[in-house]
Structure 1
Amino acid sequence: MPIPHFDPFHVPGGALKRLPLLKAAVAFIAAVCLCLCGLLFLQLEQSRRYDLESARTASANLTRAMAQQAQDTFQQTDLVLTSLADWIESDGFGPALQPRLQKTFARRVQALEQLHGLFLFDKHGHWVITSFEQLHRGPGVADRDYFTFHQQNTALTTHIGPAIRSRQNGDWIIPVSRRLNDQDGNFQGVLLAGIKMSYFDRFFESFSLADQDEMVLALSDGTLLARRPFDEAKIGRSLAEEPVFQHEPYGESVGTATIRSAADGVLRLYDHQHLQAYPLVVTAAMSEQAILAGWHDRAFKSSLIVAVVVLGICLFGWVFVRQVRNSERIEADLRKAQEALELIATHDSLTGLANRRLFERALDIEFGRGARQRSPLSLIMLDIDFFKRYNDTYGHVAGDHCLAEMAKVLKGCCHRKADLAVRYGGEEFAVLLPDTNLQGALALAEQIRRSVIDQHITHAGSPTGYLTVSLGCYAFVPSSLDSIEVFLQRADAALYQAKHSGRNRVAALSMEDGFDTLARSDR
């Protein structure tokens, strides 16, 4: 059975749980790394949002600049057409007036940088007057959309049509035209101003944009008029099916959206604005890659710095954890060594029973507990009969084996955890029984005596022919006035009485009755 360990420095219930330093260190290091990564994420996310918001502001400003430029360009052209149309409708464009009109057309074109030329066509679409010195003699413009539009519409408002190539010299122009009526309101012809597409190209080029950024001037129905970067194949193409036109309600004057282009797969920030006076829309598109180029660079550098810091923390943590593990291992080894030393100091090496040092500690503790609780304390002292003869007959090795067998018997008979079996010295043993009266001590002593006999250990030097023991019992309720030495003396006196009475028996001593000898013999 287990031998109770008595520690005079142990305070029941006062032990503090050891802080799990290794787990705490790992958790702390992980928390620090997670906090660093979390702060990096929040900082990068905030920086990304700031860059995108700045790009939205820049895109809105760019769109307003484009809208203002387009508004001014077409308004100046419209004013020229309006003044010329009023003059022509009032005075006509007969042969006598044509030289003067041609010079006026030329001066107006020179005054406005955006104008490619001014053209006057009669009601059949034939060339009448141009701002160029040489009148074009080729086919007329009756097949042009703007001419057909004015033939079919009586409105005298300015019409802006899809971009076309000029039949004068082949340049790309944006046609701005007005209908001319005679005095009776009948269709008389068309007055046309061609705006250079290169004018918008130069305006677009004045802005510092990335390669994947776009600037677009289009009709409200989505027909492309001018674009940066310039792509001749896309001029006149309808953008109505483009994601930006479908995503944004282009009936609104201003709008912003981030859309992936169906043409090249580039994610762009689109901002558009409708002109108030003309059926035109301008769009500025900035690629998200260009917008976030600086952010990506900062993110890479910040992430690299944080990664180095986290790596350093992890390396430090790894070293620290190893040190903690080594310390715990050393502490565990020291604890085992301390327990081994404690076991050596408090237990007999031959029998494994408690020695006198542990026995004395136990007596101090049980005396105090018995006095506080008024509970009985019993002690059994026992001695192997004729053990010197056994050693002389069978040798000391057999004697040691006999002592070990005796220890097994005591361990087998002491069933309670509080019972303490002790090798008191030589062939003498003791059993301390807390909270046990004399009757309980006598019963256990008799059980021990019978168990020794049942071992059938041959002893030629004993009158019985086998190994026997003599036992003395003493029990009392200790008080603060009682002495441990007296307690031991009385138990030893009971053992002496058992040996004096013939051995192989149990004797008891009580304060009231004196000696009470109980003989137990197999003879």
Structure 2
Amino acid sequence: MYDHQPSSGRPLKRMPLLKAAVLFIVAVCLTLVGLLYLQLDQSRRYDLEQAQVASQNLTRAMAQQAEDTFMKADLVLSSLADWIQADGYGAAQVPRLQRAFARRVAALNQLHGIFLFDRQGQWVVTSFEDLPRGKGVADRDYFKFHQQNISSRAHIGPAIRSRENGEWIIPLSKRVNDKDGKFLGVLMAGIKMSYFDQFFKSFSIDDNGSMFLAMTDGTLLARRPFVEAQIGSSLAQGEIFQKWLPGASSGNAMVSSMVDGVIRLHGYRQLDAYPLVVSAASSQTAILKRWSDTAFQSSMIVGLVVLGVCLFGWVFIHQVRNGERIEADLRAAQETLELIATHDSLTGLANRRLFERALDIEFGRGARQASPLSLIMLDIDFFKRYNDTYGHVVGDHCLAEVAGAVKACCQRKADLAVRYGGEEFAVLLPDTDLRGAKIIAEEIRQRVMGKNITHTESPTGYITVSLGCYSFVPNGRDSIEVFIGRADAALYQAKHSGRNRVAVLSMEGAEEALIRSDR
């Protein structure tokens, strides 16, 4: 309590070096990982945006090509339907119609053939030289559609196998009326499935990519990769038809395919002129392959850097711990040296050096606060005889026992028990008047007697102590020697009065002691 303390300003709190080092290393690692995450996230977004642009461009080209393909066939059918409506398809017209059909098919690569069916669905004219035999097409969906609908607009039906040669075709058909507007038959142009397959192959997509042409009701007409079993299946329950197309006629969507389960970025577009939908998709894996490779390399580099930082941090923290341990050892050694320098090794009480330091502090504090300061001086009675009788080892044990009794009576932190020298002790009592000092002195005397330490050379038969008390209020011009001398004079008075008692130095006695000390 009597170490020097700075009198002005509150000391700044300093974060422990070990904690600061750990926080710094964690902050560096988190910063590196955070920067990596931001960079990879930005790069991923960029690759996806570029893929979306490419997908939109691809579907736009597909939609234009598909629309052109069906429109050319539609124009051919329209001109032929007008001719047939005007001239009919009697026996005289059949040869001319067959040659016209053949020329149109030869002119358009996408056409498998052109066919004319009568009211019952029987073949009348085809672009092929030989007219097919067998049942007609009255069972076909497109024929039934035109029977029941008077619209002259072209109708696109689900993909079918041609009864001419078994080739997969997409039927584009028109209703043919007579001059009176009555149902005369159906004119159908078969669009080759292989034409769309070749068209799809002209675009560069990844191995897991896909393209398809479907009707707006979800019926699949053509697909890359071509799987025959999937032709004619319905995509109506897929996300594109259920979620995206109702909201926008074109766009992009990351979708898990209901056909093969692969996650793809789909660009989709609904044709303006026909009830058709085209879509081109690249697999998410292929889109992000370059990003994945870069992410792996960057992650490895950052991981190695973080590992290096952690290793360096581990070494640094280890050094800091060693430094703190050494500092703690030095501090403990310093405290031990301080304890040795300020305390008596035998009794554990303060020594005269700490006593004098405490007196300087308490004199100043007492003067500032005008509070009383008391001192008890005590001495073991007949201690020389005790040493001569029992030896110095037992004498040292006796001193330790008495010191314990003295220390036990010092209840406050400010109280200071001192081994003043030999068998003499002192107790410094700040903020304590003479009456309080006498009470504590009597308590010390009783506690020593209560230990019942045998002393055959003492009149009482046990170890006793004599005590002297003195108290005053410091004024800033006091002498430590005088203060100790007056308490010592009280002790002398207790010894002179018969020992084993407490003596208090009165003011008259203090003046007499002062005069005696001046002489």
Check whether the contact 2:486–2:510 (CA below 8 A) recurs between aligned residues. no
Quote how far apart the aligned CAs of 1:430 are.
1.5
Q: Is the 8 A contact 1:391 1:399 kept in 2?
A: yes
Q: Distance in 2 between matches of 1:215 and 1:438?
A: 108
Distance 1:137 1:498, change over 3 A: closer
Paired with 1:515 and 1:495, the residues of 2 have a C-alpha distance of 16
Q: 2:466 aligns with which of 445, 470, 490?
A: 470
Amino acid at match of 1:221: D
Partners of 2:468 and 2:119 lie apart in 1 by: 148
Deviation at 1:320, TM superposition (A): 3.0
Give TM-score scaled by structure 2 length: 0.89
CA distance in 2, matches of 1:478, 1:160: 118
Paired residue for 1:278, among 250, 255, 274? Answer: 274
Say whether 1:114 aligns with 2:113: no
The yes-or-no answer on 1:389 pairing with 2:409 is no
Separation in 2 of the partners of 1:135 and 1:269?
46
Q: 2:288 aligns with which of 286, 292, 316?
A: 292
Quick check: 2:174–2:187 contact (8 Å CA) kept in 1?
yes
Counterpart Cα distance in 1 of 2:455 and 2:248? 119
- Change in 2 beyond 3 A, CA 1:510/1:123: same
Aligned mates of 1:415, 1:242 — CA distance in 2? 87
**1:304-315 matches, cutoff 5 A:** 304-315=300-311
Residue 481 in structure 1 maps to residue 446 in structure 2: no
Which whole-Å CA distance do the structure 2 matches of 1:184 and 1:476 have between them?
A: 142
1:233 aligns with 2:206: no
Q: 1:514 to 1:37 in 2, by over 3 A?
A: closer
Q: Find the aligned partners of 1:442 and 1:515 in 2 and give their Cα distance.
A: 20
SS of match in other structure, 1:431: strand
Contact 1:381 1:430 in 2 (8 A): yes
Seen in structure 2, the aligned counterparts of structure 1 residues 118 and 416 have a Cα distance that, compared at 3 Å, is: closer
Cα RMSD (Å): 2.9
Contact kept, 8 Å, 1:474 with 1:490, in 2: the verdict is yes
CA distance in 1, matches of 2:13, 2:117: 104
Q: Indicate the residue corresponding to 2:21 in structure 1.
A: 25
Secondary structure (helix, strand or coil) at the match of 1:289 reads helix
C-alpha distance in 2, partners of 1:101/1:166? 20
Residue 101 of structure 1 and its aligned partner are, at CA, apart by: 3.5
1:63 aligns with 2:63: no
Matching residue of 1:402: 398
Match of 2:425 in 1: 429
Distance 1:284 1:7 in 2: 85
Task: Please say which of residues 436-445 and 203-212 is displaced more in the overlay.
Answer: 436-445
Matched, 1:7 2:25: no
Question: Does residue 368 in structure 1 map to residue 338 in structure 2?
Answer: no
8 A Cα contact 2:102 2:128, kept in partner: yes
What's 2:178 paired with?
A: 182
Matched, 1:380 2:370: no
Asked whether 1:47 is paired with 2:29, we answer no
* 1:453–1:468 CA contact under 8 A, matched in 2: yes
3-state SS of paired residue (2:204)? coil
CA deviation after TM superposition for structure 1 residue 373, in Å: 1.7
Matched to 1:321, the amino acid is I
CA distance in structure 1 between the aligned counterparts of 2:182 and 2:405, rounded to whole angstroms:
139
Whole-angstrom CA distance in 2 between matches of 1:109 and 1:146: 20
Residue of 255, 260, 269 corresponding to 1:259: 255
Which residue does 1:353 correspond to in 2?
349
Q: Kindly provide the amino acid, as one letter, of the partner of residue 102 in structure 2.
A: A
Correspondent of 1:158 among 154, 158, 163: 154
SS in 1 for 2:217: coil
1:363 positional shift: 1.0
Task: Give 1:162's aligned amino acid.
Answer: P
Match of 1:320?
316
Deviation at 1:11, TM superposition (A): 4.8
**How far does residue 362 in structure 1 lie from its aligned partner after superposition?**
0.8
Give how far 1:89 is off: 2.9
Q: What amino acid does structure 2 have at the position aligned with 1:64?
A: R
Instruction: Give the SS at the match of 2:203.
Output: coil
Residue identity (%): 71
Q: Distance in 2 between matches of 1:306 and 1:99?
A: 79
Q: Tell me, what secondary structure is at the counterpart of 1:278?
A: coil
**Residues 174 and 455 (structure 1), Cα distance of their counterparts in 2 relative to 1, 3 Å cut:** closer
Following the alignment from structure 1 to structure 2, what is the Cα–Cα distance between the partners of residues 178 and 446? 131
Deviation of 1:173 after TM superposition, in Å, equals 1.6
Are 2:155 and 1:170 aligned?
Answer: no
**Structure-1 separation of matches of 2:461 and 2:330:** 49
Which is further off, 162-171 or 357-366?
A: 162-171
Aligned to 1:91: 87
Match of 1:247 among 243, 249, 253: 243
Q: Kindly tell me: are residues 478 and 75 of structure 1, through their superposed partners in 2, closer, same or farther at Cα, counting changes over 3 Å?
A: same
CA distance in 2, matches of 1:456, 1:172: 123
* 1:60-112: CA deviation from partner (whole Å, max 9, x where unpaired): 22222111111111111111122222233333444444444433333322222
CA contact (8 A) 1:507 1:516 kept: no
Q: Which residue of 1 aligns with 2:487?
A: 491
Distance of aligned partners of 1:399 and 1:10 in 2 relative to their CA distance in 1, 3 Å threshold: farther
The whole-number CA distance in structure 1 between the counterparts of 2:371 and 2:291 is 82
TM-superposed deviation, 1:257: 3.6
Deviation at 1:276, TM superposition (A): 1.8
- State the Cα deviation string for residues 230-273 of structure 1 (Å, max 9, x = none): 11122223333444333345595335443333333223333432
Deviates more, 1:104-113 or 1:124-133: 124-133
| Residue 37 in structure 1 maps to residue 33 in structure 2 | yes
Contact conserved, 2:213 with 2:279, CA < 8 A, in 1? yes
- What is residue 197 of structure 1 aligned with on the other side? 193
